[in-house]
C-alpha cells in the first residue's frame, strides 16, 4: 500500500472519532451535553454522571481552564493544551478547542468544547503537514473562490477559481481593490460587514471567582453572509453569496479577513421566477388577483386624494368553453396568451390588465379625465376582439363581453368595484354578448345573482 493511502487510513473517520469528544456547557460552566466518546474518554458509565456538573471538575489544571473561559468571553474562541482527570483520578493530556455559541443578536448563550486526545492531535498535525499539497489542491480546484485580506484590505491570497468566475487571473485580481470587484451598492454592504467583523476585542483581567452569567453580555463578531453583485473582467456581473469571517492570531487579535465567494446566479433567477409567479399568471404573464388588487388599492387611494375617477373593467370571452372543447386545451391556452397580448397593446402604460382565472380578465384604468373615456376604451376592445386571432397557422374567432364600474359613482372600494364590474359583464352577456355595459343597480340586480 502506498504512503498516500497509509496517510488516508490514518485520518479515517472512525479512528478520529474514537479519540475525540464533544461537550456543551451553559454560561455557569455546567455541562448540558456530552458525546458518547466524552463519557468513555473520562471513564464514566452514563451521561447522567456528567450532566449538570461543573466542567472544571474534569480538568487537573483548573486555573488554565478558567483562563480559557475568560478568553471565550473576550474573543469568542480558545484553543490550547490541557491536562484532564478521569473518574478514577488518572490524568491524560488533551488538545481543546472551545467556541462561544451566541444567539441571533450575538449575545453568548453557551460554550461548545471539542477535545482531541493529545497523542492523536500530534498525529493529526503531522498528517496535515504531510498532506499540505492535498489541501492546497482542494482549495485551488473548488468552484468557490477563497480569498484573504490583510488589515489594510489588500488581497493576500485568491484561489485560481477566480478566473472561471470573473475572468480575472489570480495575478490580475491580486492587484485589484475591493471596489474593483463589487458594484457600488454591494461594496457598501461588504465594507459594513468588514467593519462589524473588525470591531475591537476587549481583554479584561482574569477573575478568580468567574461566572459568565454575571459578566456583562457582549456581542461577539459573527461571520457575515451577504448577497452581492460581483463584477467581471468583461464588465458583466453576477449574483454571489459572500461569506466573510475574521482571521485571528493565537491571541485572538484580528489579523485579516477570510472570504468565500459562490456564484448564486441560478438561485437568484429561480427566486425571481418564484417571486414573479407569486404575483403573475403562469400562462399569460399578466398580473394575478393579488397584484391586481394591490394596484387597485393604490389607484383608489390616489383617486381619493386627488378627487379623480378610475374604472374597473371585467372582461369575459364569449363561448370560450366551446373553443376549448372543439380545438383542445393547447390551442385554448395559446388563444389566452394572444388575448393577453392584444389587451396589453390596447391600453396605456399606466393601465393594468390581469387574468384572474380561466377566461376572466380584469382591467384597471387608474385615471379618467372624463367618465365617457372608459366607454371609449371598452368599445375599442370590443371592436378589436372581432378580428380573428392568428397564431401558428390557425385562425380563431372569439368575441368579448365587458362590464364597467367607475369610482366613485359605481363603488367606493375595491371589492365593490370588482363585484359591480362583474355584474355589468353578466348583463353584457344577457344583452347578446360582444358588447359592453356599465354597472346599473337596477338593471344589474338580476344578472348579479347568477
- Indicate whether 120 and 147 sit together in one domain: no
Q: Give mean pLDDT, residues 70-95.
A: 84
The predicted-structure confidence for 159-209, as pLDDT tens digits, reads as follows: 888 888 899 998 999 999 999 999 999 999 999 888 888 764 333 333 344
Query: Of 237, 269, 301, at which residue does a domain stop?
Result: 269
Domains of the chain: total: 3
Least confident of 26-30, 46-50, 87-91, 416-420: 26-30
Q: Please give the pLDDT value at position 139.
A: 53
d(CA 256, CA 95): 25
Q: What is the DSSP secondary-structure string of 125-170? A: HHHHHHTHHHHHHHHHHSSSEEEEE-TTS-EEEE-TTHHHHHS--H
| 132 lies in some domain | no
pLDDT value at residue 60: 82
| Strand 436-438 relative to strand 400-407, pairing | parallel
pLDDT higher than 50, residue 327: yes
Q: Calculate the alpha carbon distances from 231 to 149, 180, 183, 237 in Å.
A: 18, 7, 7, 5
| Judgement on whether residues 36 and 105 belong to the same structural domain of the protein | yes
Half-sphere exposure in the Cβ direction for 115 (13 Å, CA): 28
- Of the pLDDT bands very low, low, confident and very high (cuts 50, 70, 90), residue 419 is very high
Tens of pLDDT, residue by residue over 401-412, are: 999 999 999 999
For residue 444, being part of any structural domain is answered with: yes
Over 80: is that where the pLDDT of 73 sits? Answer: no
In a domain, 153, yes or no: yes
Among 102, 127, 152, residue at a domain's last position: 127
CATH classification of the domain holding 391: 3.30.70.270
Confidence at residue 221, expressed as pLDDT on a 0 to 100 scale: 63
Domain that holds residue 197: 138-269
How does residue 393 score in pLDDT terms, banded at 50, 70 and 90?
Answer: confident
Identify whether residues 296 and 363 lie together within a single domain.
Answer: yes
**Domain identity same for 442 and 346:** yes
Q: Render pLDDT for 115-150 as a digit per residue (tens, 0 to 9).
A: 887 776 666 666 656 555 555 555 555 568 888 888
Which pLDDT score, from 0 to 100, does residue 215 have? 46
pLDDT of 152 above 80: yes
The answer on 224 and 82 residing in a single domain is no
Q: 234 and 363: one domain?
A: no
Q: Are residues 434 and 285 in the same domain?
A: yes
Closest-CA residue to 323 (of 315, 312, 334)? 334
The per-residue pLDDT for range 4-33, each reduced to its tens digit, is: 344 333 444 344 444 678 888 888 888 988
Structural domain contains residue 133: no
436 near 402, Cβ under 8 Å? yes
Element (H or E) spanning 32, and its range?
A: strand 31-34
Is a pLDDT exceeding 70 seen at residue 364? yes
Among 71-80, 164-173, 339-348, 409-418, name the one with the lowest average pLDDT. Answer: 71-80
User: Mean per-residue pLDDT for 435-442?
Assistant: 90
Percent of the chain surpassing pLDDT 70: 81
Residues 179 and 78 in one domain: no
CATH of the domain at 28: 3.30.450.20
Same domain, residue pair 293 and 439: yes
How much is the pLDDT for 202? 31
Residue 361 near residue 424 (C-beta atoms within 8 A): no
Cα angle vertex 423, ends 313, 287, to 5°? 35
Same domain, 332 and 355: yes
Mean pLDDT of 98-117: 78
Taking the C-alpha atoms of residue 69 and residue 100, their distance in angstroms, rounded to an integer, is 9
| Contact predicate 115/38, CB 8 Å | yes
Q: Are 204 and 254 in contact (CB under 8 A)?
A: no
Structure confidence by residue, pLDDT tens digits, 290-326: 999 999 999 999 999 999 999 999 999 999 999 999 9
Secondary structure (DSSP) of 67-80: HHHHHHHHHSEEEE
Write down which residue in 95, 127, 159 finishes a domain: 127
* Greater pLDDT, 137 or 100: 100
**What pLDDT score was predicted for residue 220?**
53
Percent with pLDDT over 90 in the chain: 42
Q: What is the mean pLDDT of residues 83-112?
A: 82
| 36 inside domain | yes
Judgement on whether residues 231 and 297 belong to the same structural domain of the protein: no
- Residue 330 and residue 442 in one domain: yes
Q: Is residue 274 a part of any domain in this protein?
A: no
Asked whether residue 71 is assigned to any structural domain, the reply reads: yes
Q: What is the mean pLDDT of residues 210-223?
A: 53
More confident residue, 220 or 414: 414
Average pLDDT, the chain: 82
Amino acid at each position: 500500500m502506498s504512503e498516500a493511502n497509509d496517510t488516508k487510513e490514518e485520518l479515517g473517520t472512525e479512528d478520529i472519532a474514537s479519540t475525540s469528544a464533544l461537550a456543551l456547557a451553559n454560561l455557569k460552566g455546567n455541562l448540558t451535553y456530552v458525546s458518547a466518546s466524552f463519557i468513555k474518554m473520562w471513564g464514566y458509565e452514563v451521561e447522567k454522571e456528567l450532566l449538570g456538573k461543573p466542567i472544571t471538575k474534569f480538568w487537573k489544571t483548573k486555573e488554565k481552564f478558567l483562563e480559557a473561559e475568560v478568553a471565550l468571553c473576550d474573543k469568542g474562541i480558545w484553543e490550547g493544551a490541557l491536562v484532564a482527570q478521569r473518574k478514577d483520578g488518572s490524568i491524560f493530556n488533551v488538545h481543546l478547542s472551545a467556541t462561544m455559541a451566541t444567539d441571533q443578536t450575538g449575545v453568548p448563550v453557551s460554550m461548545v468544547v471539542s477535545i482531541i486526545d493529545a497523542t492523536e492531535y500530534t498525529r493529526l498535525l503531522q498528517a496535515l503537514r504531510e498532506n499540505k499539497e492535498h489541501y492546497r489542491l482542494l482549495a485551488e480546484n473548488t468552484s468557490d473562490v477563497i480569498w484573504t485580506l490583510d488589515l489594510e484590505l489588500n488581497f493576500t491570497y485568491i484561489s485560481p477559481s477566480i478566473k472561471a468566475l470573473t475572468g480575472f487571473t489570480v495575478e490580475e485580481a491580486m492587484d485589484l481593490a475591493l471596489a474593483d470587484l463589487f458594484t457600488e451598492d454591494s461594496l457598501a454592504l461588504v465594507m459594513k460587514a468588514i467593519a462589524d467583523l473588525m470591531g475591537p476585542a476587549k481583554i479584561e483581567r482574569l477573575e478568580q471567582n468567574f461566572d459568565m452569567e454575571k459578566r456583562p453580555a457582549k456581542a461577539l463578531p459573527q461571520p457575515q453572509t451577504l448577497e452581492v453583485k460581483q463584477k467581471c473582467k468583461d464588465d458583466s456581473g453576477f449574483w454571489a453569496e459572500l461569506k466573510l469571517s475574521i482571521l485571528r492570531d493565537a491571541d485572538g487579535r484580528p489579523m485579516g479577513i477570510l472570504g468565500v465567494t459562490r456564484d448564486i446566479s441560478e438561485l437568484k433567477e429561480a427566486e425571481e421566477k418564484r417571486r414573479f409567479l407569486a404575483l403573475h399568471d403562469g400562462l399569460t404573464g399578466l398580473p394575478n388577483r393579488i397584484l391586481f388588487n394591490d394596484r387597485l388599492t393604490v389607484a383608489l387611494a390616489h383617486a381619493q386624494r386627488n378627487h379623480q375617477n378610475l374604472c374597473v373593467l371585467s372582461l369575459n370571452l364569449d363561448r370560450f368553453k366551446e373553443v376549448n372543447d372543439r380545438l383542445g386545451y393547447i390551442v385554448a391556452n395559446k388563444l389566452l396568451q394572444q388575448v393577453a397580448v392584444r389587451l396589453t397593446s390596447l391600453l396605456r402604460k399606466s393601465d393594468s390588465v390581469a387574468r384572474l382565472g380561466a377566461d376572466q380578465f380584469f382591467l384597471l384604468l387608474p385615471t379618467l379625465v372624463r367618465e365617457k373615456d372608459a366607454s371609449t376604451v371598452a368599445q375599442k376592445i370590443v371592436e378589436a376582439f372581432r378580428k380573428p386571432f392568428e397564431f401558428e397557422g390557425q385562425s380563431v374567432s372569439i368575441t368579448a363581453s365587458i362590464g364597467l364600474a367607475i369610482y366613485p359613482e359605481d363603488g367606493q372600494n375595491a371589492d365593490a368595484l370588482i363585484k359591480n364590474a362583474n355584474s355589468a359583464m353578466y348583463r353584457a352577456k344577457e344583452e347578446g354578448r360582444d358588447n359592453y355595459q356599465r354597472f346599473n343597480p337596477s338593471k344589474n340586480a338580476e344578472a348579479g345573482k347568477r
